[in-house]
Amino acid sequence: MKKISGIISAVLTAAALINPAFAESGALTASSSNAKIAWGLGASSDAYGRPLDAVNAEAKYSEKGGLFVGDAEHKRLWLTFDEGYENGYTEKILDILKEKNVRAVFFVTYDYAKDNPELIKRMIKEGHTVGNHTMSHPSLPDCSDEQLHSELSELHDYIKQQFGYDMYVMRPPKGEFSERVLDCAKQLGYTTVLWSFAYYDWNVDTQPDPNQAFEKVTSKLHPGAIYLLHAVSKTNTEILGRVIDNWRENGYIITPM
């Protein structure tokens, strides 16, 4: 028991150094439900076109620091990219975002940040948000309290030390989370960002047809949209400029996070 107590104490101390609010909470999240939720969206939407699953999750989990979709009152959206590894397209994506004067969110893993420091520096320099996608990309509900804390805090520390940047948003790998995961992230000062739009863009060997992808991405436009795109996608890179133009032509503002 003394050994376990010592481990927990060390974890709590490390957490408090990152975020004083963690020290005030006094504990990890053992009392929170750890039922795994594999995030996905059904076909049903509200009157504004927002996916009902995202609307309901926002109502249920926003107090725990979850963000699934924005409000219906404003024609705004967020553009986010997941960066598990580099496939040669991020530089072009950044070029397009710079040309269009758009700020996006890039969720990176430790390996990505370590292998692509110049891209991380450019993201930060050009005003994009760098988000925490964990050290090793595990399913976070499967992690112990100590592992969960380490997956987030060690990457936080690395990005801070190497790039002088404090991350404040995170995305759970595979979209798998639980109330315990949300609570731990919130205690560490993070908002957990899921999405209200995603599509089959991640398989580099089976890329979507650009025109079909453009239609799919633009037809699902809705207030408060959180778009998840994968930066490994050749198709996403090809259509990104047209997509941004379409969003703006429909009166939407692409909002920094």
Q: Which pLDDT belongs to residue 106?
A: 98
Q: Report residue 18's pLDDT band, with 50, 70 and 90 as the boundaries.
A: very low
**67 forms bridges with which residues in the sheet?**
193
Q: Which helix (H) or strand (E) holds 53?
A: helix 52-61
Which residue's structure tokens are 């292998």? 115
We report the CATH number of the domain holding residue 92 as 3.20.20.370
Q: Domain residues for 44?
A: 39-254
Residue 65 lies in a domain: yes
Query: Alpha-carbon distance 11 to 147, whole Å?
Result: 10
**Polymer length of the chain:** 257
Query: Alpha-carbon distance 218 to 199, whole Å?
Result: 12
Query: Alpha-carbon distance 68 to 179, whole Å?
Result: 14
Query: Alpha-carbon distance 216 to 163, whole Å?
Result: 36
Q: Which pair of tokens denotes residue 248?
A: 């703006």
Residue 153 lies in a domain: yes
The proportion of the chain whose per-residue pLDDT surpasses 90, expressed as a percent, equals: 88
Q: Which pLDDT belongs to residue 252?
A: 98
Task: State the average pLDDT for the chain.
Answer: 90
Residue 160 lies in a domain: yes
Q: Which pair of tokens denotes residue 32?
A: 């929170």
Low-confidence winner among 22-26, 56-60, 109-113, 156-160 (lowest mean pLDDT): 22-26
Residue 85 lies in a domain: yes
Name the residues annotated as catalytic.
82, 230
Q: Which helix (H) or strand (E) holds 169?
A: strand 169-170
Domain count, the chain: 1
Q: Which pLDDT belongs to residue 28?
A: 52
DSSP three-state, residue 139:
coil
Spatial CB neighbours of 145, under 8 Å, sequence gap ≥ 6: 8, 11, 28, 29, 30, 180, 184
For residues 175 and 41, the answer to whether their CB atoms sit within 8 Å is no
pLDDT tens column, 33-71: 999 999 999 999 999 999 999 999 999 999 999 999 999
Q: Which pLDDT belongs to residue 168?
A: 98
Which residue's structure tokens are 């930066």? 231
Q: If you average pLDDT over residues 58-87, what whole number do you get? A: 97
Residue 77 lies in a domain: yes
Q: Report residue 32's pLDDT band, with 50, 70 and 90 as the boundaries.
A: confident
Is pLDDT at 17 greater than 50 in this prediction?
no
Residue 25 lies in a domain: no
pLDDT tens column, 128-171: 999 999 999 999 999 999 999 999 999 999 999 999 999 999 99
CA distances from 52 to 94, 164, 196, 201 (A): 32, 38, 9, 22
Q: If you average pLDDT over residues 207-221, what whole number do you get? A: 98
Residue 14 lies in a domain: no
Residue 34 lies in a domain: no
Q: If you average pLDDT over residues 116-136, what whole number do you get? A: 98
